[in-house]
Amino acid sequence: MARNDVRMGVWLMVATTLVFALQDGISRHLASAYNVPLVVMIRYWFFAAFVIALSMRETGGLRRVSTTSQPWLQLFRGLLLTLEINVMVLGFVYLGLVESHAVFASYPLLIAALSGPILGETVGWRRWAAIGVGFLGVVIILEPGWGVFSPHAVIPLFAALMFALYGLLTRYAAHRDSAATSFFWTGTTGAVFATLIGIWFWEPMTGADWIWMGGLCISGALGHWLLIKCYEVAEASAVQPFAYLQLVFASSIGLVIFGETLRANVLFGGGLIVLAGLFTLWRTRQKG
């Protein structure tokens, strides 16, 4: 399929962010009642099955897709994403969706800041300025100078740092592996690591919560499928700015469903982060 249908790509990205926001809402609900590693483990089982099913449809099947010349890098990527998801869902429990996503939205800025030392890319003064503005937004959200600073506030920031590193390693892996190969290793090794962590936290779930767990697994697979289709029909640089809608959708779920509040500093700081991130994406596209 030609990669030139920007309008369709935008709509697919909007649908992707909505589905992932719903996934985050379900994760918040389940993680409030059960151990976070348990929820992530079961979610990964379904995700691995989805990845394997997609890989079997690729030319050459599983044998070709699973072949990599950099297995240690792919293993580390899988472990990193597994840990990041556990940390982010923990953030949902302690901070809620609104504040967690407001801070996590800084991950594109972290990617830009780390792309120089890790990938050797050039980051100009304009993007460094945008990165500085974005992290000012993070400081405003965390409020380190007002009252008692909660250590829970750094949970989504740590998740953003891990996700940024995962994104950079994915770009590095793309020099020698196809996207299908990296996706296969992400799902399968992630399921192994999630199981090694989560199996120690097993606890029985009620019938109703198994329905929610089914919804979590389906939304995860559907979100990834929509994202794949999005990148098939449009260039990533054209649709990536719309990924910030996940912040809007997830925050709306937090406000309406979970009764969270939107503090002024979170609104202002989150706005700075999004604007800085959009500018960074625009400058990256211009340089590209």
Whether residue 73 is predicted with pLDDT greater than 90 in this model: the reply is yes
Cα–Cα dist 264/61, whole Å: 51
Neighbours of 208 (CB within 10 A): 8
The predicted pLDDT at position 264 comes to 85
When mean pLDDT is compared across 55-69, 88-102, 147-161, 245-259, the lowest value belongs to 147-161
**Within a domain: residue 153?**
yes
Q: What is the CA radius of gyration of the chain?
A: 19
Q: What is the pLDDT of residues 180-234, one digit of tens each?
A: 999 999 999 999 999 999 999 999 999 899 999 999 999 999 999 998 888 888 7
Q: What is the pLDDT of residues 119-170, one digit of tens each?
A: 777 777 787 888 888 888 888 887 755 444 567 878 999 999 999 999 899 9
If you count them, how many residues does the chain have? 288
**Within a domain: residue 144?**
yes
Which range, 59-68, 71-80, 137-146, 258-267, has the best average confidence (pLDDT)? 71-80
Q: What is the DSSP string of 237-285?
A: HHHGGGGGHHHHHHHHHHHHTS-----HHHHHHHHHHHHHHHHHHHHHH
Whether residue 113 is predicted with pLDDT greater than 60 in this model: the reply is yes
**Within a domain: residue 1?**
no
Phi, psi at residue 43, to the nearest 5°? Answer: -60, -40
Neighbours of 227 (CB within 10 A): 19
Rounded mean pLDDT of 114-118? 79
Report the number of distinct structural domains present in the chain. 1
Cβ(276)–Cβ(131) below 8 Å: yes
Q: What is the DSSP string of 27-93?
A: HHHHHTTS-HHHHHHHHHHHHHHHHHHHHHTSTTHHHHHH--S-HHHHHHHHHHHHHHHHHHHHHHH
Tokens 């935008």 — which residue? 10
Cα–Cα dist 207/56, whole Å: 32
SS3 state at 12: helix
The predicted pLDDT at position 30 comes to 96
Which range, 41-50, 114-123, 149-158, 231-240, has the best average confidence (pLDDT)? 41-50
The predicted pLDDT at position 147 comes to 45
Whether residue 41 is predicted with pLDDT greater than 90 in this model: the reply is yes
pLDDT band at 241 (very low <50, low <70, confident <90, very high): confident
**Within a domain: residue 130?**
yes
Domain range for 83 = 6-287
Whether residue 1 is predicted with pLDDT greater than 60 in this model: the reply is no
